[in-house]
Amino acid sequence: MKKNVLIWSGLFVGTLIVGILLLVLSALVPNEPVRNHVLESAPLFTVPQEMLGVRNDNHYSAQDHFTDALMAEEAMMIDQDKPFQSAMRCDFPFSGDPIKDLSKIANGEGDDLPVRDYARYWHGYLIWLRPMLACGTWSMVRTFTLIMLSFVVLLCISLWTQRKGVVYALGVCLPILCCYFPQVGISPQFSSIYFVGLIASIVLLSVPHICEDIRWSGGVMLIAGCASSYLDLLTAPMIGLLFPLLTYCLLAKKDKGFYKHVALLLAIWFIGYFGFWFMKWVIGTLATDLNVIESGFHNGRVRSYGYNDDFYTWTTIFERVGELLCEPFIWLPMVIAGIIWICSIKPKEILPNLYLLALAIVPIVWMFVMRQHSAYHFHLLAWRNMIPSIAAVLLFMIETSRFKILRIN
């Protein structure tokens, strides 16, 4: 075990160094074409949601134009004279609405806009966002992101089909495809965590011996946790956790140490996730004139408890999850799967597979812990934490079913 800890510690440090180097390299991308393409893209962020096939601004399929515009501002505000410090600060002009701010800058009226930092996040998405914006507008970014995410999902489906059968591929990927996949694909913010979870799953599916050795499967989960912290703006981190963990669970041998290994991998992911957050705060504090450690802990408390302890109660999360389960794109496939499962249930398989239902509860626990952030942003982004929960329930049904049409080994 000590040897494994040393390997994982070295892997954490190596991932940290690579992450910093990639941010510095992205900061060296020429600013002029990035700025020109961002300002050319400013009108895209004012497009009404209805034109994107969305019912309203507070629907599950809504695009987060606010954060998209903020990300675009960050991409064009990097100071190439101080690439490391600038990447750690991640300044952007902000007077309350980045969409309006970006429009003002595009119209030559943004000289008096205040500038604020966003140092508590890694903003790792800049490592591909800046190079892409140097080559084209936000429309090109959306198109490329959708194509790449579609490719990753198709590859995941193919590998699941080869390793476990087409029904397992559907159990994992159907929730992704049913939950407004096109809206995710065109959003650099939403898609980042999908790339983390699915690519980690692809690694486990592609290299069979990884799931046979806790050393390597632990390394994959550690990197997935670090990458979730690095790339995701607290959108749906449970996607980065549960998709690779569920992949391990379905591929690993169910020996005496199986459940212990599952718990260990869960802990390793959280160590990587929170450890990478903390290191950003430490490095940001040392590299800039900001107290990022204090800001990080303060904002962590705000996202959990809010400015007022009674602002959002524990029951709010139950209400939000209940509303989500009443949506047709959630309950309809679950009801169909449930009916088939009831007709084919294999009772003796239920107890050994209850751990899948326990994993399905993890995102709800996460949203309890981060209840202020989860409740406030539930309809826009936090609800996607429940997607791997749906996958876990479907996989439980498959693992405990009798008919071969449902279970292909």
Condensed to tens digits (0 to 9), the pLDDT of residues 100-109 reads: 888 888 887 7
> What's phi and psi for 67, nearest 5 deg?
-75, -35
pLDDT tens digits for 359-376?
999 999 999 888 888 888
- The pLDDT value given to residue 49: 53
Find the range with the poorest average confidence among 67-76, 146-155, 200-209, 384-393. Answer: 67-76
Distance separating the N- and C-terminal Cα atoms of the chain: 32
The full set of domain ranges for the chain reads 2-138
Over residues 108-131, the mean pLDDT reads 88
> What count of other Cβ atoms lies within 10 Å of the Cβ of residue 192?
26
- The pLDDT value given to residue 326: 86
- The pLDDT value given to residue 309: 53
- pLDDT above 80: residue 72: yes
**Could you tell me the pLDDT band of residue 322, with boundaries at 50, 70 and 90?**
confident
- The pLDDT value given to residue 58: 52
Note whether 52 and 34 are within 8 A (CB). no
3-state secondary structure at position 283: helix
Q: And the tokens for 85?
A: 């410090």
Instruction: Calculate ∠ Cα 15-19-20, nearest 5°.
Output: 120
2-33: buried (b, 16+ CB within 10 Å) or exposed (e) per residue?
eebeeebeebbeebbeebbebbeebbebebee
**Could you tell me the pLDDT band of residue 403, with boundaries at 50, 70 and 90?**
low
- pLDDT above 80: residue 55: no
Note whether 133 and 126 are within 8 A (CB). no
pLDDT tens digits for 243-261?
999 999 999 988 888 999 9
**Could you tell me the pLDDT band of residue 51, with boundaries at 50, 70 and 90?**
very low
- The pLDDT value given to residue 66: 85
Average per-residue pLDDT for the chain = 88
- The pLDDT value given to residue 251: 94
- The pLDDT value given to residue 67: 87
pLDDT tens digits for 154-202?
999 999 999 998 999 999 999 999 888 988 888 889 999 999 999 999 9
Over residues 63-89, the mean pLDDT reads 88
Over residues 93-120, the mean pLDDT reads 83
- The alpha-carbon radius of gyration of the chain (Å, integer) is 22
3-state secondary structure at position 30: coil
Round to whole Å and give the CA distance between 253 and 385.
Answer: 27
- pLDDT above 70: residue 307: no
Over residues 383-395, the mean pLDDT reads 94
